[in-house]
Structure 1
């Protein structure tokens, strides 16, 4: 196992654009004037991508051997590269109105063909942290990278606990996290998020990043979203 320190990241404040109006029942009210952008509420740190090389994990022989075996498969089309991707999401404290109901960070992972050859497989979120956080479980300290480049789970939630941060769609090309307001946990402060991406080695891989939020006004949820103009390039050494 190797400790991964997640550093503080330069942040950009996001202007989230109104997406739609909807009620919890699914009823869509008549279209109203577009709501103003949601500003000053959510900032994104990063994203930052670091290739996971044999040198990076060389202190742990098992991890080094795994990285080398994935990179040097007999069938080159199946060779894989790994990337450590780090984000932070900072949200305005609960004194701001309207209050945030949910905040989402969503990625779309893609691989460009190399020459005329298609990618053998699509990049996926190989492992994500935190996986789940509840009132009884808080994130803290470094992330721990264990066997087969998976994060060692330190965030197990007791059955029935209210989850306020959850990773979604691990092992898929459309992963993300959701931060939720609960009766015991509001949304505010900085949340540090990380994933290991497994990607085909002989391609250029990218991660498109979107941030969404909902605010509740009475019984109406208003949805907002912003997309980073440029995808994150996942470069291999």
Structure 2
């Protein structure tokens, strides 16, 4: 199974606006825009060998950097992708990572399995020191809605782990051969400032996959 490394991606700041309905108490001021804490990289698409079945496959890279703030921590951040194609339906054929727990390690490498599925690659024991100090696991990152046109990844805050850091995401997009695929990228977030406030991108970031 061939292994791939993730290319560098230029990242742009993403500003989120408050959602219309927030859970807040009487007298709490309405939150303003959320800027300077989220940076989006990609999407960058690389065509893959395929087409014999009438479909084209694109290896699509995304990055999201989440900046921590102890006074207003993220409870969750969701990176959503809306796939459209002018020749039919485009779907997220495979997504990685599919799950990250508090005892797992994020990696900058992935491996192809059968039928262009994406598999995680464990870091070698000689290059990474592993420490396990607590029992049980928490689900921190999860891929949502694979094999659909509206895939997403959700990053969650854990009991001991902030929802902050640099994240890399990869998916194989399948579409009818010869079609042009467009991605609409959205980011939503839940931020705790005494109470929980919701934020979202005002409009999707639209990018065509070549």
TM over 0.5: yes
Q: Distance in 2 between matches of 1:128 and 1:193?
A: 8
Give structure 2 stretches of 5+ with no counterpart: 123-135
Which residue of 125, 141, 157 maps to 1:181? 157
SS, match of residue 115 in structure 2 = helix
> Over aligned residues, Cα RMSD in angstroms?
2.2
Aligned length, in residue pairs:
197
Quote how far apart the aligned CAs of 1:141 are: 3.8
Which residue of 161, 180, 198 maps to 2:137? 161
- So what's the TM-score if we normalise by structure 1? 0.76
CA deviations over 1:126-168 (Å, ceiling 9, x no partner): 110011001111112411111100012458xxxx621011110
Retained in 1: the 8 A contact 2:108–2:168?
no
Aligned CA distance change for structure 1 residues 29 and 200 (closer, same or farther; 3 Å): farther
The aligned counterpart of 1:62 is none
Quote how far apart the aligned CAs of 1:40 are: 1.1
> Does residue 150 of structure 1 match 2:117?
yes
Q: Distance in 2 between matches of 1:126 and 1:228?
A: 25
Q: Distance in 2 between matches of 1:32 and 1:123?
A: 43
The aligned counterpart of 2:52 is 72
> Does residue 83 of structure 1 match 2:58?
yes
Give structure 1 stretches of 5+ with no counterpart: 54-66, 74-78, 114-118
SS, match of residue 68 in structure 2 = coil
More strand per residue: 1 or 2?
A: 2
> Does residue 105 of structure 1 match 2:85?
no
- So what's the TM-score if we normalise by structure 2? 0.85
> Does residue 11 of structure 1 match 2:7?
no
Which residue of 42, 45, 50 maps to 2:46? 50
Retained in 1: the 8 A contact 2:57–2:175?
yes
